[in-house]
Amino acid sequence: MSDVYIVGIDMIPFGRYPHRTVEQLGAEAALLALDDCGLSIGDMEALYCGNLMEAHLMVGQRILREIGQTGIPVTNTANACATGATAFREGVISIKAGLHDLVLAVGVEQMGRGLLGSVGRADGFVEEGVLGSSTMPAMFSQIGIEHARHYGTSFAQFAQIAVKNHHHSTMNPKAMSRRETPLEEVMAAEMIAWPNTKLMCSLNVDGAAAAVIASESAVRRLGLMDRAVRVRASELMSGPYTPHEFAIPDFSQVTRNCVGAAYERAGLGANDIDLIELHDCFATAEVVHYENLGLCADGDAGGLIDTGATALGGRIPVNVSGGLLSKGHPLGATGIANLYEVATHLRGDAGARQVDGARIGLTHVVGGTPNRGSACVIHILEKT
């Protein structure tokens, strides 16, 4: 099987684009990714498109109508917050399978504002407040409190995640929010669901990101190896059974299963990773994923926060892009935007937030909804 490479990758600045269509946003990202490697839509043999909110509305085809209807196969994917990464992975698989040499992956989303989800059921019953809560912040707060239950994690430790990621965002011109938020400000912000305050929740924004994925022979034929990034692992897992299955989706075991498969595929371990973009949809989530990804032993995530090990300049920088807390979280775009961030560091192009000497990076997205299930995608990328 051929090694697989990213040869072109980019994202539009995440923000609010109420006057543009989802296909316009996706098309812009696609053209940026093509320009990044000097190729055209005519060179692409297939398109893998990730979009969640309009999953049944042929977003991939609509993007091609914006940038060139070449008639290539289009696969539209939806997989909760793992949507974009799932689309990218389908592209990787098509090259591994020998079907294609050059494919395009696009992740794009236009979000509403406010809390995700809806309040009423078809029979008119409002579950929220009666059957606990189904809001995303509530769910991820329960996961943080579960961590506190086992290890005594403090409100301040959770809040410190937001301080760190918002600090990183000041160096990323493509982040939606780019300002420092001191610990006192994070902790004093409006409480959304204990212990996540408003500044510990990701932003609902619009966004798009895209990647051109290539086989080794295509990279060599086109002379693109200089800036190519090798895909060492591309793993997808669904949530396995856990005893809490019907009370809360599993985000931890699915991450552990997925990263185990990724480390095995790449022949690498957590100690080999130079930077990580992980799924900080809420500050509490980042804490549990330190342990899920093997950055520290179970119970040591609080210590990792206290020592600054996951800040830029630390032992294992996490979310130097500013993370979803600062960049924003356009569901379908997030997975490819994470790949863009890591690839940018491996290419040495990350400017003020560059992780020095980065050779290997990991991206992680995990999503799910109450009483439905979860999906996790992990990629390991390597500088060529």
What lies within 8 Å, CB to CB, of 285 at 6+ separation is 140, 143, 144, 251, 279
- Positions touching another protein (CB under 8 A) are 115, 117-119, 123-133, 135, 137-138, 141-143, 145-146, 149, 190-195, 198, 241, 243-248, 370
CB of 146 to another protein, least distance (A): 4
Our CB check for another protein shows the closer of 1 and 130 to be 130
**Rounded distance, CA 191 to CA 209, Å?**
31
Our CB check for another protein shows the closer of 190 and 226 to be 190
Beta-carbon count within 10 A of 218 CB: 23
CB of 150 to another protein, least distance (A): 9
Our CB check for another protein shows the closer of 155 and 294 to be 155
Our CB check for another protein shows the closer of 226 and 241 to be 241
Our CB check for another protein shows the closer of 58 and 191 to be 191
CA distances from 37 to 127, 214, 225, 237, 350 (A): 49, 11, 10, 31, 17
Our CB check for another protein shows the closer of 123 and 226 to be 123
Closest C-alpha to 88, from 260, 233, 296, 254? 233
With beta carbons less than 8 A apart as the criterion, state whether 48 and 99 touch.
no
What lies within 8 Å, CB to CB, of 83 at 6+ separation is 50, 51, 52, 77, 107, 109, 331, 332, 334, 335, 367
Write out the DSSP string of 58-110: -HHHHHHHHH------EEEE-BTBTHHHHHHHHHHHHHHTTS-SEEEEEEEE-
CB of 382 to another protein, least distance (A): 37
Catalytic one of 329, 345, 364, 379: 329
CB of 124 to another protein, least distance (A): 6
What lies within 8 Å, CB to CB, of 227 at 6+ separation is 7, 37, 347
Helix axes of 22-37 and 59-67: crossing angle, nearest 10 degrees: 60
| Active-site residue, 329 included | yes
Closest C-alpha to 230, from 215, 244, 242? 215
**Rounded distance, CA 303 to CA 104, Å?**
41
CB of 116 to another protein, least distance (A): 10
CB of 246 to another protein, least distance (A): 5
Q: Which value, in Å, is the radius of gyration of the alpha carbons in the chain? A: 20
| Active-site residue, 364 included | no
Our CB check for another protein shows the closer of 284 and 363 to be 284
Catalytic one of 37, 49, 81, 201: 81
**Rounded distance, CA 150 to CA 147, Å?**
5
Beta-carbon count within 10 A of 135 CB: 17
What lies within 8 Å, CB to CB, of 299 at 6+ separation is 150, 151, 291
CB of 145 to another protein, least distance (A): 5
**Where in the sequence numbering do the catalytic residues fall?**
81, 329
